Amino acid sequence: MPERKVTVVADVGLHARPAATFVRAAAKAPMDVWIAKPGRDPVNAKSILQILALDVQQDEMVVIKAEGDGADAVLDELAGIAGSP
C-alpha cells in the first residue's frame, strides 16, 4: 500500500483550517485514505473529527496511506497540504 511520511509544518499542527483543507482534499479521493502518527492506529483521513482526535502538533510526523488507482497522486497532494517530507 503506498504511503507518505510527512512532517507537519503548520504552526497549529493539523487542526482547524489545515485539517479542514486536508479532509476536503481526501474526500475527493475515490479510495479510502488513512492517516496516523507512527505507532498509533490509522484513522479515516476523510473524517475531520478523527483527524482532530489525533492531536497532530507542528513538527510531528504522520503517515498517510491510500490504495487504489491514483493513490500516489492523492498521497502527493495530501502530503503537500500536511507538510514536508
This prediction has a pTM of 0.92
Asked if 15 is an active-site residue, the reply is yes
pLDDT tens for 9-54 read 999 999 989 999 999 999 999 999 999 999 999 999 999 999 999 9
Q: Which of 15, 37, 46, 65 is catalytic?
A: 15
Q: Which grid cell is 41?
A: 492506529
CA distance 24 to 40: 23
Region of residue 28 (left: phi > 0; alpha: psi -120 to 50; beta: else):
alpha
Indicate the CATH number of 3-84 among 3.40.50.2300, 1.25.40.10, 3.10.310.70, 3.30.1340.10.
Answer: 3.30.1340.10
How distant is the alpha carbon of residue 8 from its chain centre? Answer: 9
pLDDT band for position 85 (cuts 50, 70, 90): low
